[in-house]
Structure 1
């Protein structure tokens, strides 16, 4: 009788432990994880050094400087010319 009671108590204790572990796995993402996801979406199709620089700036606590935005916008506008480029750069530099 004691062994059955002991096994039941052990089973009950284990089930509580598994439920607590499952609750830990379902936690909301941390602030850093959320920030990483947001920066990753914003990085879009940037590649190489441009992406690396963008992610570094995005993930740091500092907002992007005007110079960083200018570099990014210039790279994005490389195929545009004339008035189209001016309009694109104007809009791009206004974004935060």
Structure 2
């Protein structure tokens, strides 16, 4: 009986990890920082990608903390959240 309960709770944690909050918007200050640094071309692309990913990671970590996720569930949730947040949207 306890094994079934433990497995049920584990499944519930994994199911929660699959839920993704609305993707955070890219950090508007990334563009401002890039403009201040006068970046262009490949340097601009690289900087924006890293800046937006860092901002998404911070936001997703906060969301995981709010959901009280820990361990593998937190890692899985954060990874998917960051991937969703930084994915290129179809134009």
- TM-score of the aligned structures, taking structure 2 as reference length: 0.37
Q: Which has the higher contact order (CA 8 A, sep 6+)?
A: 2
